[in-house]
Amino acid sequence: KNEVEQSPQNLTAQEGEFITINCSYSVGISALHWLQQHPGGGIVSLFMLSSGKKKHGRLIATINIQEKHSSLHITASHPRDSAVYICAVSNYGGSQGNLIFGKGTKLSVKP
């Protein structure tokens, strides 16, 4: 059983659409990370959160600790948002970087 599940696996959207990517986890966590992996392979950390909601530009991340669920939203999507979005969790009691990763959601935004 995967400890971190993401949905959908693949997502195609038209430019301007509102996008939601979901992440569910089954372990106790100290933090949840949303990461963006570019087509070339590089990884960028978007958010780290342990409660509530965070916003950066057109990106919003929320987490519900009781339900063990997080969502990443992209408003007014753009083709440059095309990437793989990865949810990862830090086990409770472990170090921040000891992460369990989801398989990722491949997002393609069409102009």
Partner 1 sequence: EPEVTQTPSHQVTQMGQEVILRCVPISNHLYFYWYRQILGQKVEFLVSFYNNEISEKSEIFDDQFSVERPDGSNFTLKIRSTKLEDSAMYFCASSDQNRGEATNEKLFFGSGTQLSVL
* Chain residues that interact with partner 1, rule: CB under 8 A: 30-31, 33, 35, 40-48, 50, 86, 88, 90, 94-104
Give 102 or 107: the residue with its C-beta nearer to partner 1. 102
- Smallest gap, in angstroms, from Cβ of residue 58 to partner 1? 18
CA distance 35 to 71: 12
- Smallest gap, in angstroms, from Cβ of residue 59 to partner 1? 13
Instruction: Classify residue 110 by its DSSP letter.
Output: E
- Smallest gap, in angstroms, from Cβ of residue 46 to partner 1? 8
b vs e for 74-87, b when ≥16 Cβ sit within 10 Å of the residue's Cβ?
A: beebeeebbbbbbb
